[in-house]
Each structure stands twice: as structure tokens, then as C-alpha cells.
Structure 1
Amino acid sequence: MFRSSSQNHSSESLTDAALWHNFKEGDELALGELAQRYYKRLYGYGSKFSRDREVVKDCIQDLFLEIWDKRTTISEPDSVKLYLLVSIRRRIFRRKTEDKWLEQSEELDFDSTLIGDLPIETAIIEDETSRYYVRKLQQLIPQLTRRQQEIIYLRFYENLDNEAIAEVMSLSRGAVANLLWRALKELKDYWYAGLLLLMWPGISLLK
């Protein structure tokens, strides 16, 4: 997507913030590294809102092209990851609205088949009990509301806290906390939450 400018260092070793700063200075290689770093994540998240994979790919490409075009005026975000997640969600909403797939007042649908994307297979103990809980989890998540499913995805897959989720979904922090609590309560009195805490021990549900 972007051609490299002359650089004496490897972009792969730089932080997101450093890459962002460099691309604002006109370094195409820096933005190319950010695109490579986040493409798979943005595609996975964007695919939850559209079954048309080409639309998702177009939105990602348009997002990075727009960022490049606005590099002289764009701000430096506290979190590049959060900025990109917010941006791709808004871009897909705008694309669907322009294509008349939904009205401005409607919300994006979130595909309930998200659990296959979660890194469960590398995080849980390989025994029959764990596999049972995973199967139950796969059955229960589609029963949640679309918003609850998206919050579960952002919380446990993207590892975002409630404040970041609120920014991505344009909700209040209180609304996110309430939706998350209700989702976990509906998932069989927190046995599900206990399993997730085993898989992601660093996560606090109330953070």
C-alpha cells in the first residue's frame, strides 16, 4: 500500500507512538508498518459487521489512505489501537449508510459467530472439562444482544477496558459496565466469567 522512504532503522522495532510520529513527518514506511501491524485485527473486527469481506478490506485501505492524506493535521492519539478500532467501526457504519444497508438511526449488527476468533485453543487447559465449557460458551454467546456480544468481544479479545469500549461504541462508561454485567450474568451466573479469567488472568471484569 505504501512505499518505503529512506530509513536507517527498522520500523518493526518501533512503538506504535513512534511510528505514528514518523508517518506524520512523511515516512510512508512507518504507516505501512502500522497497517501491517493492525490489518488482521481490523479485518477481524470489521468482519463482525459485514459479511462482504471486500467491503471490509476496502474500508481498511480507505482508512489508511485517509490517515496518510491527513497526516499534517491529524492528532497523535493516546492509543493507536483504540484510534484505529474507533475509525474502522465508524467507516463501516458510514459505508453501510451510503450503500443504504441501514439508516442513520440504526445500529451496526454484530455477527454472533465471534467465539471462533477468540484465542481459546492456546489459553485453556487441554482437558474434557475445558472443552465442555468452551462448547457451552459457543452456544450461549449468540443468545446475547448484539451490543453485549460486541462488548464481550472488545473486552476479552481486544482486552479493552470499559472506558476504551465506551469510546469505540460511542456509549457512556456506565452503559458499557451495565451491559457487560448483564451479559456475564446471563451467561450462567458467572461460571463463564470464571473460565475467561482462567484464560486471561490479567483481566479485571470491573475495570
Structure 2
Amino acid sequence: MFRLPSNHRPLEAIADADLWRHFRDGDELALGELAERYYKRLYNYGSKFSRDREVIRDCIQDLFLEIWDKRQTLSQPDSVKLYLLVSIRRRIYRRKTADKWLEESEELDFDSGLIGDLPIETAIIEDETSQYYVRKLQQLIPQLSRRQQEIIYLRFYENLDNEAIAEVMSLSRGAVANLLWRALKELKDYWYAGLVFLLMAGIGLLK
């Protein structure tokens, strides 16, 4: 994995798009900062598809090695975050089909361990009542289909809009909207509207 030298000033103030341009020009430090910035996010997402930590780490490292090798032919993405999420999902899918964990026609499994490895606790768990709702949410989300679980993850934990989710999951925008609506309706039916409201408000999606 690319790493910034310990004596180098952090590049946190530089926007993703500028880092991407710098790394395409051959700046390893810029790619190292992108790797540092997105490693945990990619690992969290990748871990929903495989419990094998080494596989996830290998896929992330291979992804950054590949984009470094192909930097001169890469275009400037509208969103670096979206590009990396799409890329890691596709890489994990290829790895699992190559290892015969999946047939080419099969969907990726999605492990709905959404809460616990993400900073949602600091956003909404401020009292015992909120903790109770979060525990209920943990129990309810696995009852959704795996596509619905992934859409919930991408919408509420990665804050992607329907168009971006469609790109990540290779679905139509209409299919994403329909699956998301049905997922929220099922959560509401399982519990009540306050549960969904709590989730949405807690991560800043209700403006």
C-alpha cells in the first residue's frame, strides 16, 4: 500500500480531484494520500462482501497498484469516491468468481453488519432510547433482501444519491429508487416510521 512518509506534511486540505490530477502526473504522494483517505471506507464496504480480511486487503492494494500503473490512460472522474467504490466492488466480484466462490451469473452476498464499524454511534447514540432503536435497526436490516441492504448502506452510510448507487451496483436508477422505497417501507412496517426517521436524521439526510 502506498503510504506518505512520516516527515511529509499531510495533504488533507487538497481536494480529491486535485490529488487525482497530481497522481496522474506521476506524484506518488498524491496517490498515497488518496489511499490513506479511502482505505478504511473501501475496507468497510469490501468487508460486506467477504469475511476474509486478507482478500479485502489484497483487493484494495491491487486496486491502487492498478490505477498507478494505468495513470496515464485514466480520465478525471466526476467523483473519486464513487470511482473507487465502483472499482473495489467490481474487483471483489472478479476475485470471487475467479476463486469459484461465485458463478458469473450470481449476485454478491451482502453482510448487513452495518452498525458498529462505522461512526454512526457518535451521530445518533446519545441516550438509552437511541441505543434501543439502533439495536432494533441491527435486527431489522438483515430481514431485507441483500440488494436492499446494500442500497441502504450506500444511501445512508456513504451518502450516495440514487444515480451514484445505480452506477456502483450496475442497476438502473429506477430500480434503485424502487428498491430503496420498498426497503424503507419494510423497515417502517417492521417497526414504525420513527426508526427510519432516526436513522435519516442521525446522519444528516433530513434537511
Q: Percent identity?
A: 80
Match of 1:66 in 2: 66
Match of 2:194 in 1: 191
Match of 1:142 in 2: 142
1:56 has 2:59 as partner: no
Match of 1:11 in 2: 11
1:95 has 2:95 as partner: yes
Aligned letter for 2:38?
A: Y
3-state SS of 2:12 partner: helix
Deviation, structure 1 residue 113? 1.7
Aligned letter for 1:175?
A: A
TM-score (norm 1): 0.91
What's the Cα RMSD here? 1.9
Which runs of 4 or more aligned residues in structure 1 lie more than 4 Å from their structure 2 counterparts after TM superposition?
Answer: none
The more displaced of 131-140 and 58-67 is: 131-140
2-side partners of 1:197 and 1:99: how far apart?
38
TM-score (norm 2): 0.91
Contact kept in structure 1, 2:3 and 2:35, CA below 8 Å: no
Match of 1:20 in 2: 20
1-side partners of 2:135 and 2:10: how far apart?
43
5+ residue gaps, structure 2, are none
Match of 1:38 in 2: 38
2-side partners of 1:25 and 1:114: how far apart?
37
Aligned residues: 202
The more displaced of 130-139 and 150-159 is: 130-139
1-side partners of 2:64 and 2:146: how far apart?
27
Matches within 5 A, 1:86-125: 86-124=86-124
Deviation, structure 1 residue 198? 2.1
Contact kept in structure 2, 1:49 and 1:111, CA below 8 Å: yes
Match of 2:167 in 1: 167
3-state SS of 2:58 partner: helix
Aligned letter for 1:196?
A: L
Q: Deviations over 1:138-196 (max 9, x none)?
A: 11011111001101111111010111000000001111111111111111243322112
Contact kept in structure 1, 2:17 and 2:80, CA below 8 Å: yes
Contact kept in structure 1, 2:120 and 2:203, CA below 8 Å: no
Aligned letter for 1:187?
A: L
Deviation, structure 1 residue 11? 2.9
With over 3 angstroms needed to count, the CA separation of the structure-2 counterparts of 1:3 and 1:53, relative to structure 1, is closer
1:81 has 2:81 as partner: yes
